[in-house]
Structure 1
Amino acid sequence: MDRLTARGVAIGYGGALIVQDLNLTIPTGKVTALVGPNGSGKSTVLKTLARILRPQAGEVILDGKAIHAQPTREVAKKLAILPQNPSAPEGLTVAELVAYGRFPHRRGLTLTPSDRRVITSVLELTGMDPFADRPVDALSGGQRQRAWIAMALAQETDILFLDEPTSFLDITYQLEILQLLRRLNRDHNRTIVMVVHDLNLASRYADHMVVLKSGRVVTEGAPKAVIRREVLRDVFGVEADIVADPRTGVPLCLPFDLAAGAGQASVHPAPSEAESLDALEAAEGGVR
């Protein structure tokens, strides 16, 4: 049974909608990648599914109930989110960062033996146990991202959201993070939902892909159903060859030209997704 669904969701600010009439079901026990051009609504959809943003219309359903009608602490026991480029206070150690993930389960200020067992377990799972006493700001980019993933895992949720988890990482760390997420999915039955810019990485590591453009779902399905020349042309404005990965058989795209009419700047460009979200959060007094 799929646990997380958006029904008729609209997200925006003032009279401008970023996402319109979103109907989407996240497959339980799978890795789902949200892809699309800049400003397509990927992060907006992710934050709304994770209860960071409240839709103007429609609702997000988690385990049969509207997600905003559920207590915050209870939702935090079911899903965790790792935002883009998170930052930790200077000098905070990896172990201290991971301990924050126990907040939904704690009733006091002191960590219980159960809390400490979970922290030790997720540090080992993410390969961060040798760095437990090291300050987060002294880590490499890939190590820092693994530390944040460990914190999210310490919440002991079945659903994990990640907003561009491979941004600003070189290819070694990108593969390291995506392979970790794949192991979490396959070996620990975590449902993973992530925003990914690189279509080929999304195709390699996701079971399910959702393609967004201008706040709407254009198509979704397995990579073989989504990575098609007409989708790349219509959504991303590029012409591309599609080849099969020689190791896995999943489709990979090789862009070779702009599609006709693509790449020309608009005289009055629409606000970017980031700009729209800034306005939305300012209007609402911050996200909820």
Structure 2
Amino acid sequence: MERLYTEQLDIAYGDVSIVDNLNISIPSGQITALVGANGSGKSTILKAMARMMKPKAGTVFLDGKSIHRQATKDVAKQLAILPQNPIAPDGLTVSELVTYGRFPHQKGFGSLSKEDKEAVRWSIEMTGMNEFYDRPVDQLSGGQRQRAWIAMALAQGTNILFLDEPTTFLDMAHQLEVLKLLQKLNKEENRTIVMVVHDLNHAARYAHHMVAIKKGTVICSGTPAEVMKLDVLREVFGIEADIIPDPRTGVPLCLPYELAPEAHKSAGGSAPAANQAAKSNELAASSR
């Protein structure tokens, strides 16, 4: 049995249900990518599994125990989460930011122990941020800033790392920089990584396991080859696409070329349908 999984998980914002009866397992020691259209509930599921929000019903299990019944510090020693677009206080340096990752291991407001300092040093070195040790985070480029936040999560010393759209707003080079770092952490440190990813081809190339989600429901899960199927892409994303093997890795690549028929109907629907779409967009915004 995997270390982290859910059973009959229901998640809601007020009276609005986002996820119903979710049963999902996260393979230990692998990279898992949650994929789906905007507003599908990916980020909501990630937050619930990382204990950032409490489900309406059901359970998230970590090492056989309900994650929401465990002490916060105990959970923080097992998993770390990097939310979307985190913002550091003005003037905070990289080393100061990374030090925050040691809070779950400290007692009261004591100074850093030798172990804490070593964890901070190692995390900064692992993420290639040595030259920016004393640089304010708000003076870094987007890719450097994201690596600094990942270093903070690493300093937390957890085996499980959650990331919510870690490549959002980054250019292609910085996206690859972050994804290769996560791949390195998985290979060299055996970290279990769970991330929400928008780019299907990034998910297929860097993840071992993919979970395709639509309206809070898992449509398909498995290896990239098992998930990147034409029928799955039609149902989850509303697209027609060609699937070809990556010439370097052999994993499937998605080349979308047209909206699926149902997506066409949705785009050209009546006024009531358009109103419903607007409501769906508002719901999507609230569920991110």
TM-score between the two structures when normalised by the length of structure 2: 0.94
Q: Distance in 1 between matches of 2:142 and 2:250?
A: 30
Q: Distance in 2 between matches of 1:39 and 1:92?
A: 33
Q: Cα distance, 1:152 vs. partner?
A: 0.2
**Cα offsets for 1:137-168 (capped at 9, x unmatched):** 00000000000000000000000000000000
Q: Cα distance, 1:273 vs. partner?
A: 2.8
Q: In the alignment, is residue 118 of structure 1 matched against residue 119 of structure 2?
A: yes
How many corresponding residue pairs?
A: 277
Q: Distance in 2 between matches of 1:195 and 1:272?
A: 18
Aligned with 2:91: secondary structure?
coil
Q: How does 1:135-150 map to 2 (within 5 A)?
A: 135-150=136-151
Code of the residue aligned with 1:30 in structure 2: it is Q
Q: In the alignment, is residue 106 of structure 1 matched against residue 106 of structure 2?
A: yes
Code of the residue aligned with 1:274 in structure 2: it is A
Q: In the alignment, is residue 48 of structure 1 matched against residue 59 of structure 2?
A: no
Code of the residue aligned with 1:195 in structure 2: it is V
Q: Would the aligned equivalents of 2:43 and 2:287 in 1 still touch at CA under 8 Å? A: no
Q: Cα distance, 1:11 vs. partner?
A: 0.4
Q: Cα distance, 1:213 vs. partner?
A: 0.2
Structure richer in helix, relative to its length: 2
Specify every segment of 5 or more residues in structure 2 that has no aligned partner in the other structure, as ranges: 268-272
Matched residue, 1:173: 174
**Cα offsets for 1:242-281 (capped at 9, x unmatched):** 000011100001001111131534331224333246xxxx
TM-score between the two structures when normalised by the length of structure 1: 0.94
Matched residue, 1:250: 251
Code of the residue aligned with 1:272 in structure 2: it is L
Q: Distance in 2 between matches of 1:276 and 1:129?
A: 36
Q: How does 1:108-257 map to 2 (within 5 A)?
A: 108-257=109-258
Q: Distance in 2 between matches of 1:96 and 1:14?
A: 37
Q: Distance in 2 between matches of 1:82 and 1:17?
A: 24
Q: Distance in 1 between matches of 2:285 and 2:96?
A: 30
Matched residue, 2:270: none
Q: In the alignment, is residue 36 of structure 1 matched against residue 63 of structure 2?
A: no
Q: How does 1:15-94 map to 2 (within 5 A)?
A: 15-94=15-94
Q: Distance in 1 between matches of 2:110 and 2:47?
A: 28
Q: Distance in 1 between matches of 2:216 and 2:203?
A: 19
Q: Cα distance, 1:113 vs. partner?
A: 1.4
Code of the residue aligned with 2:131 in structure 1: it is P
Matched residue, 1:285: none
Q: Would the aligned equivalents of 2:8 and 2:21 in 1 still touch at CA under 8 Å? A: yes
**Cα offsets for 1:28-53 (capped at 9, x unmatched):** 00000000000000000000000001
Q: Would the aligned equivalents of 1:239 and 1:255 in 2 still touch at CA under 8 Å? A: yes
Q: Cα distance, 1:63 vs. partner?
A: 0.5
Q: In the alignment, is residue 275 of structure 1 matched against residue 280 of structure 2?
A: no
Deviates more, 1:101-110 or 1:126-135: 101-110
Q: Would the aligned equivalents of 2:44 and 2:287 in 1 still touch at CA under 8 Å? A: no
Residues 160 and 276 from structure 1, CA distance in 2 versus in 1: closer, same or farther, beyond 3 angstroms?
A: closer
Q: Distance in 1 between matches of 2:263 and 2:253?
A: 21
Q: Would the aligned equivalents of 1:44 and 1:273 in 2 still touch at CA under 8 Å? A: no
Q: Distance in 2 between matches of 1:72 and 1:14?
A: 24
Q: Would the aligned equivalents of 2:39 and 2:287 in 1 still touch at CA under 8 Å? A: no
Code of the residue aligned with 1:50 in structure 2: it is A
Q: Would the aligned equivalents of 2:10 and 2:58 in 1 still touch at CA under 8 Å? A: yes
Code of the residue aligned with 1:87 in structure 2: it is I
Q: Would the aligned equivalents of 1:34 and 1:193 in 2 still touch at CA under 8 Å? A: yes
Q: Distance in 2 between matches of 1:139 and 1:82?
A: 17
Q: Distance in 2 between matches of 1:64 and 1:209?
A: 23
Code of the residue aligned with 2:13 in structure 1: it is Y
Q: Cα distance, 1:20 vs. partner?
A: 0.6
